[in-house]
Each structure stands twice: as structure tokens, then as C-alpha cells.
Amino acid sequence: METIHEPTSTANMFKQVWPLRDYYKICREVLRLLRGELSQRQLSEKLGYTFNQVGKWESGVTQIKWEDFIQINHALGLPVDERLQVFFGNGHGPHTSQNVKRLFSNWLALDSIDSDVIRNKLKKWKASPESLDLAEALMAMDSRPAMLFGFLSHFVNCAEIEILRQDFENFEKEMNLLSAEPLVGFINEALLVEDYRRLPEHDDEVLAFHASCTVDELKPLLEKLVQMGVVGFDGHKYFSSPTSFSFSTLSNKSLRKFNKFTFEWVAKKYPLEILSKNRPGVYNVSGTSTRVVAISRNASEEIDRLVSQFHNAVGEVVKNDSQPKENVQIISLANVVSTV
């Protein structure tokens, strides 16, 4: 009798012990980088303090709150509101502690976080009116690596934060690989499809089919993914990391080529007739919808809110999808000005 090697080792191989790092120290480093050549007292004065409050923050005597972080950026003349709008998306302001806690609670699926610390923190936020510690916000973001680096990169160079440097360099390598070889995102997801999961041993043909590539394309990319630690191999089959190629809230130039590749792929697969879906095997529902229209700014803002709602709703569907995965699905919706 053949043994089906389910990727039960995935959780153990990629298991993370929380907290992953000292988020309070990261906050202090961020503050130091933000103030640059200004002394602690000079920045304290800009913030309206008659004592060295910045020194207290940087020494760890008092902790930096979310509102403190926003005030610091304002005092330094930095466009914090615009940066937060890019990160959180239009229509999610004002960026108060309570709104930010609500957003994180909505974004971070409780049942998909392998951390009692984060789950308990999110539950506490829902019930508490207390102001949010910046360190706690960073810890929550770190459950989705792209979210942490995406947020911090709006304000500082993550490579200058010593305790983040190595992970950030790895993250950059991952994004650069995605830009150079967009298929790696498809391969990572194809490893979750039931056709592959139920195999007793790895099969190039099955994985390549679901990743929409050839076997010749698959092999070198799998090797690169394993070398980078993005994909694991247990001696029988490959399995994906649950946090790799997560693009949530990320603005990164590496995603441009991935998006170009994806939209071109969708154009090639554009369904011309219903019968084209009736092929051997199990296929998920597919469809496309595209409009090119002249509209007002108000209408554009309303559509932007709808796009955000759509992606949040899709995230909920994906989060709650406990059934076997039958296909890799491309789900994309754009709302872009033609003159950009």
C-alpha cells in the first residue's frame, strides 16, 4: 500500500516562535533613523516637550505609541498621512489607534496565524480602547513579512535596522526573484493544490501543469526556491511557505513585472466560449470583467472603496476556504488612471 506523504511537516519546518524579535528595539531604531542629525532635545522641542522625551523613548523608559509615531513624522515635516494612505489604502482614515487596530484585526486572519501571542493581542485590541503601542503594531505586521517591511519602508531603510537586516535582505531577494521569474509565485501556490498534495512522491508534470509552466521551466525555479528557503523538501515532495510571496499592503517595483506577467497570462486565457471550460479534469469557475471609462474624481474614489471592499471580501473567502484546493486561481482587479 502506497503511503501518501501529506505535507504535515510544513507547519513544523516554517513554525515561528513569537515574539520573533525585539519590536521595542525596532521602534527605537526607527525613531533614531527618522530624527537623523537632529539631537534628541531638538526633536523633543519640535514635539512641544520641555524635557527630553525623545531620550526617554530611545532609552526605553517610555514606549512609543502609535499617535506618537504620527506626531513625530508631522514634527519632522514628513508626509505621514500620505504614506499611511498608500499603506492602508484610500478610505481607511483617519489613522487613529482604534481604526488601525480594527484594520489589523480585519486583515490578519485569526485562524491562519500560528501564534497564540498574535491571536490574543488581536482579541485584546477589539475589546480595549487603549492607545496602540507602535511595537505591538509592528509585531502584528510581522505575521505577514511583506506587511512589516512594506510599512517600515515607507519611513526608513530597513537595511539600516540591524536586527531586521538579514530578514530584509532575504525578503528583497525573494521580491527580486519574483520580478525576474514571475512563475515562482505560481509554483509556490501550485504546491497547495490537492492533485499534488495527494501524490506519494514529487511529480514534475503534475506540479508544472498547475503552475502553468513547462517542466524545463519548473526545475531550475524549484531549485532556487529551495535554496532561498522559500520552498521546503521533506525527501518526498516539496511544500510552500505560508508567508512567502505575500503582497498585502506592499508597494514594490518588483511587483510591476509580476503584474505585467499575470495580466498578459489572463489575456491569453481569456475565455471565448463556455465550452472551452468543459475539459477533462476539475476546473474552477473563470471569468473576466474590464471597463475603460471616463469618470469623475468622486466616482473614482467610490470605485477605489469598492476595490478595497472586493479585496477584503476575497481575503475572507480565501481565509475561510478549508476545502481541498483544486486549481491555482488568479484574482485581480485594477482601478488605474490611464495617464499615470
In angstroms, rounded to a whole number, what is the distance separating the alpha carbons of residues 89 and 125?
21
Residue 332, domain member (yes or no): no
For range 160-183, the mean pLDDT: 89
pTM (2 decimals)? Answer: 0.74
Higher pLDDT, 185 or 35: 35
pLDDT at 96: 85
User: pLDDT-derived band of residue 33, with 50, 70 and 90 as boundaries?
Assistant: very high
The answer to whether residue 27 sits within a structural domain is yes
- pLDDT for residue 331: 83
Q: Confirm whether 229 is domain-assigned.
A: no
81, 87 contact by CB (below 8 A):
no
Q: What is the pLDDT of residue 106?
A: 67
Average pLDDT over every residue of 299-321: 79
- Compute how many other C-beta atoms are within 10 angstroms of the C-beta atom of residue 322: 6
Mean pLDDT of the chain: 82
Grid cell 501571542 in the structure block, residue: 117
Per-residue pLDDT band at 187 (split at 50, 70, 90): very high
How far is the C-alpha of 148 from the C-alpha of 249, rounded, in Å? 9
Cβ(56)–Cβ(40) below 8 Å: no
What's at 218, amino acid-wise?
Answer: L
For residue 197, pLDDT over 60 is answered with yes
310: in domain: no
pLDDT confidence tier of residue 3, bands split at 50, 70 and 90: very low
Question: Domain total for the chain?
Answer: 1
- Cα–Cα nearest to 182, from 286, 260, 242, 288: 260
Check pLDDT > 90 for residue 156. yes
Place of cell 507602535: 134
pLDDT at position 278, please?
Answer: 47
Instruction: Tell whether the model's pLDDT for residue 100 goes beyond 50.
Output: yes
Q: Is residue 154 part of a domain?
A: no
Report yes or no on 134 lying in a domain. yes
Q: If you average pLDDT over each of 268-272, 287-291, 319-323, which comes out highest?
A: 319-323
- Note the pLDDT of residue 95: 84
pLDDT band at 42 (very low <50, low <70, confident <90, very high): very high
Nearest Cα to Cα of residue 128 among 104, 102, 95, 94:
102
Considering the domain boundaries, does residue 59 fall inside one? yes
Q: pLDDT class for 275, splitting at 50, 70, 90?
A: very low
Residue 296 lies in a domain: no
> For residue 179, what are the contacts with CB-CB under 8 A and spacing of at least 6?
253, 254, 255, 256, 257, 258
Give the residue numbers spanning the domain of 37. 23-141
Q: Is 232 helix (H, G, I), strand (E, B) or coil?
A: strand
The predicted pLDDT at position 67 comes to: 95
Residue 91: name the closest of 332, 301, 311 by CA: 301
Highest mean pLDDT among 98-107, 136-145, 153-162, 328-337: 153-162
